[in-house]
Structure 1
Amino acid sequence: MNTAAQTRFDNLHIDNNIILYMEDVSVSFDGFKAINKLNLYIDRGELRCIIGPNGAGKSTMMDIITGKTRPDEGTVFLGRDHNLLQMSEAEIARAGIGRKFQKPTVFESLSVYDNLSLAIAGSKSVFGAYFGKWRKLTGEQDDFLDSVLDTIGLTHTRARMAGFLSHGQKQWLEIGMLLMQKPQLLLVDEPVAGMTHGEIERTAELLTGLAGQQAVVVVEHDMEFVRKIARQVTVLHQGSVLAEGTLAQVQADRQVIEVYLGGGH
């Protein structure tokens, strides 16, 4: 980061409460500006919902945070020490950012317990996991795994093959796999798509319960679900922030009504 950007960073966030810092971030694809001077600040332990119409830049924003896409300009930091634009995707993950995609990705031929065991950062290789050659967990690791099982509500399914879980349970298992890596920031993309009503309720409880332990950013189109979990909401439009505040505040914003909440959305 150049001297001017470092000065802005120090002056804005000297309290060290910001876990994700994005300033003046822009990226274009074939002349189309997917992200346009985006400024976004996420506090440690915060639960933030990101909403916006299709093409607003939500997925590109997450791609930039996780290193999949490099912006043309801007500053992106995790805490005060990690310049994400100078790190690889693997380095960003190890630094404490976990991303949950819309479609769950679990090892269906392994048990719930083994999926979580495999996810412990640095403990074993995927190859070793499939052939049963990973090292035995320490007592502390096993206790932590049990606590994650309880958090995601899958204690009673610990020995079940992941392929036999319901769609919602697979989503929770993947969240658990990310929690095994003790992330500082968890990015969750449309977590309730395809879930039953009961699974949606449980997912709301899970995500609100995680806030405070780590920052959680939820990108979601289902406004009923957003109402269940929303504390602070950011509305993206054309690659930049259109509005921020409580759900009631953004719902009352005239610009938000015109571009997103109106017209039958």
Structure 2
Amino acid sequence: MTPDLMEEGARRAQALLAAKPQGKTESGGRAAGFSRPVVHGEVDVAHGRILYLEDVSVSFDGFKAINNLSLDIAPGELRCIIGPNGAGKTTMMDIITGKTRPDAGTVFFGSTIDLLRYKEAEIAGMGIGRKFQKPTVFEQLTVFENLELALKTDKGVKASMFFRLDSGESDRLAEILQTIHLADAVDRLAGTLSHGQKQWLEIGMLLMQDPKLLLLDEPVAGMTDEETARTAELFLTLKGQHSLMVVEHDMSFIKTISEKVTVLHEGSVLAEGTLEQVQNDERVIEVYLGR
């Protein structure tokens, strides 16, 4: 992308941002001006589940990392996953995204898409976005350029050479810049951002691909208290528009964003319910929270 085109795009994004409603955060954490109905594209959610795992198991060298795991997530739900190290949280995400194939079980995206029939890249293209703990952004490019690269467009050489944002794409980019708290950093190099800002930028890059489901692995690790609070606000804004699975150890953060919490232990669901319910569960106290 040439500097002139980048500057033109940045100016357009800033102008669009100036016209967006700012508003205060409404009840439930959704920012005013961004409330819209849940849309899940071609994913059939007729049975009220965007993700469904049943009796999933996988072993590595005789160790059962996932053991008859069953859970489901509703469209627009924000589900928090907690548990001790080695509980199977990362392996579960690996299975959902096609990185690891289970030995047994069922994994469905919506009501009709059997994820075990597809490869990792195909699953990503279906609308499942994954964010790892360490942010991965293009540090030598600007915030604007990172988001532009993440657009769901033809990535061929010829198409890339002549690519220009249309008005709808510009609107989408402007909206995401505001959502991820980087509206004032549109022309900054990603490498100059703070750790938390890089995390938000990577989430923004996922959002540019219009995912139906976001898998977020320890998203606030290493963040300042202020960044953690703004990340909670961000997730509550995304809830309802996207389905989110958040794996995290920060219980204060979980308390801020959670409605339903799933506790994993030894590859299975140990407990499920509100944070208060699982915190008072004797089994959870014994294996994870302590007294």
| Same-fold status (TM-score > 0.5) | yes
Q: 2:223 aligns with which of 195, 201, 205?
A: 195
Give yes or no for contact 1:50–1:58 (8 Å, CA) kept in 2: yes
Aligned AA for 2:96?
Answer: I
Aligned AA for 1:44?
Answer: P
Q: Percent identity?
A: 65
CA shift at 1:81, angstroms?
Answer: 2.4
Aligned AA for 1:222?
Answer: D
CA shift at 1:222, angstroms?
Answer: 1.1
Q: Is residue 49 from structure 1 mapped to residue 80 from structure 2 by the alignment?
A: yes
Give yes or no for contact 2:45–2:75 (8 Å, CA) kept in 1: no
CA shift at 1:128, angstroms?
Answer: 8.4
Aligned residue in 1 for 2:108: 77
Provide the secondary structure at the position in 2 that maps to 1:218: strand
Within 1, Cα distance between the matches of 2:264 and 2:247? 10
Number of residues of Structure 1 aligned to a counterpart in Structure 2? 248
Deviations 1:74-112 (A, max 9, x none): 000100121110001111011110000000000001110
Distance 1:202 1:178, change over 3 A: same
Q: Is residue 253 from structure 1 mapped to residue 281 from structure 2 by the alignment?
A: yes
Q: Is residue 111 from structure 1 mapped to residue 142 from structure 2 by the alignment?
A: yes
Give yes or no for contact 1:152–1:206 (8 Å, CA) kept in 2: yes
Within 2, Cα distance between the matches of 1:122 and 1:140? 13
Within 2, Cα distance between the matches of 1:181 and 1:229? 24
Aligned AA for 1:93?
Answer: A
Aligned residue in 1 for 2:48: 17
Deviations 1:25-80 (A, max 9, x none): 00000000000000010000000000000000000000000000000000001001
CA shift at 1:16, angstroms?
Answer: 2.2
Q: Is residue 99 from structure 1 mapped to residue 130 from structure 2 by the alignment?
A: yes
Q: Is residue 37 from structure 1 mapped to residue 75 from structure 2 by the alignment?
A: no
Aligned residue in 1 for 2:12: none
Q: 2:259 aligns with which of 231, 235, 247?
A: 231
Aligned AA for 1:70?
Answer: R
Q: Is residue 209 from structure 1 mapped to residue 237 from structure 2 by the alignment?
A: yes
Give yes or no for contact 1:65–1:84 (8 Å, CA) kept in 2: yes
Q: 2:247 aligns with which of 216, 219, 224?
A: 219
Deviations 1:105-144 (A, max 9, x none): 000011101100100123436x889xx8361111111110
Deviates more, 1:46-55 or 1:115-124: 115-124
Aligned AA for 2:144?
Answer: Y
Q: 1:150 aligns with which of 151, 155, 178?
A: 178
Aligned residue in 1 for 2:209: 181
Structure 1: gaps (5+ residues):
1-12
Give yes or no for contact 1:123–1:134 (8 Å, CA) kept in 2: no
With normalisation by structure 2, the TM-score equals 0.82
